[in-house]
């Protein structure tokens, strides 16, 4: 996965968190975009976003694996 793909997924998760009543998580992700950081930093933030999505029961582990493989949340 590229840094750009990770950032796109982070943006998609941010929108979902905002829509699903988790604005504090959306704000944390939005305010700390790793766009100017390293690929490793983007991957860590993606891992955080996916962990929140899973622990909040927004997506199953299988869903999250598919998001990573597709590079997008869309298409479910």
> pLDDT tens, 14-73?
999 999 999 999 988 888 776 677 888 889 989 999 999 999 999 999 999 999 999 999
pLDDT (0 to 100) of residue 74: 87
Let me know if 56 is exposed, middle or buried by CB neighbors in 10 A (0-12, 13-18, 19+): middle
Cβ neighbours of 75 (radius 10 Å): 8
Handedness of CA 46, 47, 50, 51 (dihedral sign): negative
Domain range summary for the chain, segments of one domain joined by +: 3-70
What band does 75 get if pLDDT is binned at 50, 70 and 90? Answer: confident
pTM of structure = 0.87
């Amino acid at each position: 996965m590229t840094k750009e793909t990770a950032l796109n997924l982070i943006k998609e998760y941010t929108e979902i968190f905002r829509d699903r009543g988790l604005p504090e998580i959306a704000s944390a992700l939005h305010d700390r975009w790793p766009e100017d950081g390293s690929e490793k930093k983007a991957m860590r933030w993606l891992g955080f976003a996916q962990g929140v999505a899973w622990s909040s029961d927004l997506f199953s582990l299988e869903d999250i694996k598919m998001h990573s493989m597709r590079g997008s949340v869309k298409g479910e």
